[in-house]
């Protein structure tokens, strides 16, 4: 299964056994997305928000 990348419109391959919450990277732009399974079937991708980034400075 393939889903359009929300960032670059490229094709992101989704494993058949993908589970909700799984992180998939876009091979084209390198963005990472979280897999959501839609109730009506199919897969939706949501950008992974990196919050509270702390570099330990």
Query: Taking CB under 5 A as the rule, does residue 29 contact Zn ion?
Result: yes
Query: Taking CB under 5 A as the rule, does residue 5 contact Zn ion?
Result: yes
Residue 25 and residue 34 in contact, taking contact as beta carbons nearer than 8 Å: no
Nearest to 6 by CA among 22, 21, 28: 28
Residue 12 and residue 2 in contact, taking contact as beta carbons nearer than 8 Å: yes
Stretch that binds Zn ion, among 4-12, 16-24, 32-40, 43-51 (CB under 5 A): 4-12
Query: Taking CB under 5 A as the rule, does residue 7 contact Zn ion?
Result: yes
Which chain residues interact with Zn ion by CB under 5 A? 5, 7-8, 10, 26, 28-29
């Amino acid at each position: 299964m393939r889903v359009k990348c929300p960032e670059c419109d490229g094709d992101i391959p989704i494993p058949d056994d993908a589970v909700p919450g799984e992180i998939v990277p876009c091979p084209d732009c390198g963005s990472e997305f979280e897999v959501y399974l839609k109730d009506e079937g199919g897969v939706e991708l949501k950008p992974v928000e990196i919050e509270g980034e702390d570099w330990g400075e």
